[in-house]
Amino acid sequence: MSLAHAEPNRLPWKEGSCPLMLAPMQGVTNRALRSLLIETVRPDLVFTEFMRVSGVSRKRLRKSDLRDIAAEQGGVPLVVQLVGYGVQPLVSAALLAQERGAVHINLNVGCPFGRMTTSPTGGALLQHPETLRELLPELRRVIQGSFSVKIRAGYDDPRQILGLLPLLEGSGVDFLVLHPRTVVQQYQGEADHGLTSEVVRATSLPVIANGDIRTAAGGHRLLQQTGAVGLMLGRGAIADPTLFQRLRNPDQPEPDKSERSRALRRYLHALIEGYAELFCGEKQVLDKLKKTLLWMDDPEWQPIFRKMKKARGLEQFRQLVDELV
């Protein structure tokens, strides 16, 4: 019997609204960055970085991940994302997350780097549909709140997703986050949102569009053309958090370079302070800041970003931030 839509009110956003979500990005969307964006631009949903599920029962999730688990953060629903392999490990991890307070749980079936591990995790699960056929109903059986899947279009076939829709619907998944690239593409080329439109037409599941959303105009166009119910912002939001505000206010113009530089200086200075509280020691804080810069690919700022990536201390990093004009 199909489990789909058994409890339509489980969705972690208001019915009829267009949720704008902060994407889970490993090594980047940590608790400090999420807090900063919640305080300044308030996404409708935030996701944890993916939590690696161990095959060893006594340490399913790392202690650092357990500390991150909650129903919400700063009043915003928090989705706990799991990545791993094996039905029993993932089911027991979902139960553990719920014991620790998780209400919304997401399965990562999209990370392109899971294919490089010893077991097929993340996007590599798309090579094992038989595992998904067993796993998804079992996760739905134990997850009491919302259960979502973040997925690539396919492993190497971009149309694989269309064949998986009956399984996703029948397993009782509450909503789908689609990044319309294949796993083997990683982040090359462009996200094919023509495929997003096809998926929306082919399924009754709410579909969240993800991939290459960099401007408010582009986001609004994507919603209109695909019929997706919401957007997930990743690299675009890390480079420019005010994108959330402009998506909510269609009449707000794109900022000029001066406005962007002021916003970027405030953002990076606040991030320095947040990272100093979360991480231990100047070196770790600096390393985390530099990792965040890797996702800021606006060509306007690349010369100064290259200098920041070479900074040898936080004081030098702060001085370079002040040079953003």
pLDDT of residue 114: 55
- Mean per-residue pLDDT for 189-209? 97
In the chain, the amino acid numbered 301 is W
Q: Return the percentage of the chain with pLDDT > 70, whole number.
A: 96
Asked, for residue 16, whether it belongs to a domain, the answer is yes
Phi, psi of 221, rounded to the nearest 5 degrees: -65, -40
Does residue 221 share a domain with residue 312? Answer: no
Structural domain count, the chain = 2
When comparing pLDDT for 298 and 126, which is higher? 126
Asked, for residue 1, whether it belongs to a domain, the answer is no
Nearest of 294, 310, 36, 307 to residue 324 by alpha carbon: 307
pLDDT of residue 3: 47
- Mean per-residue pLDDT for 296-300? 87
Does residue 307 share a domain with residue 169? Answer: no
pLDDT of residue 247: 97
- 45-47 and 76-83: which strand pairing? parallel
Does residue 283 share a domain with residue 217? Answer: no
pLDDT of residue 226: 98
pLDDT of residue 118: 64
Phi, psi of 213, rounded to the nearest 5 degrees: -100, 105
- Mean per-residue pLDDT for 8-34? 92
Domain that holds residue 237: 8-248
- Mean per-residue pLDDT for 1-15? 65
The predicted-structure confidence for 51-83, as pLDDT tens digits, reads as follows 999 988 888 999 999 999 999 999 999 999 999
Does residue 142 share a domain with residue 26? Answer: yes
pLDDT of residue 254: 86
**Alpha carbons 234 and 84: distance in angstroms, whole number:** 21
**67 forms bridges with which residues in the sheet?**
none
Does residue 265 share a domain with residue 173? Answer: no
Does residue 184 share a domain with residue 261? Answer: no
Does residue 164 share a domain with residue 269? Answer: no
Residue 2: pLDDT over 80: no
pLDDT of residue 298: 85
pLDDT of residue 9: 63
Q: Give the end of a domain, one of 219, 248, 277.
A: 248
pLDDT band of 120, cuts 50, 70, 90: confident
Asked, for residue 3, whether it belongs to a domain, the answer is no
Asked, for residue 112, whether it belongs to a domain, the answer is yes
C-beta of residue 150 within 8 angstroms of C-beta of residue 122? no
**Alpha carbons 50 and 125: distance in angstroms, whole number:** 15
pLDDT, mean over the chain: 93
C-beta of residue 243 within 8 angstroms of C-beta of residue 237? yes
Does residue 48 share a domain with residue 155? Answer: yes
- Mean per-residue pLDDT for 137-154? 98
Does residue 17 share a domain with residue 145? Answer: yes
pLDDT band of 252, cuts 50, 70, 90: confident
Q: Give the end of a domain, one of 248, 271, 297.
A: 248
Asked, for residue 284, whether it belongs to a domain, the answer is yes
Residue 256: pLDDT over 80: yes
pLDDT of residue 4: 45
Q: For residue 176, give every residue at least 6 positions away whose Cβ sits within 8 Å of its Cβ, in sequence order, or none.
A: 148, 149, 151, 168, 199, 203, 205, 206, 207, 208
pLDDT of residue 325: 86
- 76-83 and 72-73: which strand pairing? antiparallel
**Alpha carbons 239 and 269: distance in angstroms, whole number:** 14
- Residue for token pair 């113009």: 253
Residue 116: pLDDT over 70: no
Task: Encode the chain in three state secondary structure.
Answer: CCCCCCCHHHCCCCCCCCCEEECCCCCCCCHHHHHHHHHHCCCCEEECCCEECCCCHHHCCCHHHHHHCCCEECCEEEEEEEECCCHHHHHHHHHHHHHCCCCEEEEEECCCCHHHCCCCCHHHHHHCHHHHHHHHHHHHHHCCCEEEEEEEEECCCCCHHHHHHHHHHHCCCCEEEEEEEECCCCCCCCCCHHHHHHHHHHCCCCEEEECCCCCHHHHHHHHHHHCCCEEEECHHHHHCCCHHHHHHCCCCCCCCHHHHHHHHHHHHHHHHHHHHHHCCCHHHHHHHHHHHHCCCCCHHHHHHHHHHHCCCCHHHHHHHHHCCC
Residues acting as catalytic residues: 111
Residue 5: pLDDT over 90: no
Does residue 148 share a domain with residue 123? Answer: yes
Does residue 234 share a domain with residue 215? Answer: yes
Residue 204 sits in a domain whose CATH number is 3.20.20.70
Does residue 265 share a domain with residue 209? Answer: no
Q: Return the percentage of the chain with pLDDT > 90, whole number.
A: 86
Residue 182: pLDDT over 80: yes
Q: Give the end of a domain, one of 248, 275, 299.
A: 248
**Alpha carbons 156 and 112: distance in angstroms, whole number:** 11
The predicted-structure confidence for 212-245, as pLDDT tens digits, reads as follows 999 999 999 999 999 999 999 999 999 999 999 9
C-beta of residue 31 within 8 angstroms of C-beta of residue 49? no
When comparing pLDDT for 179 and 58, which is higher? 179
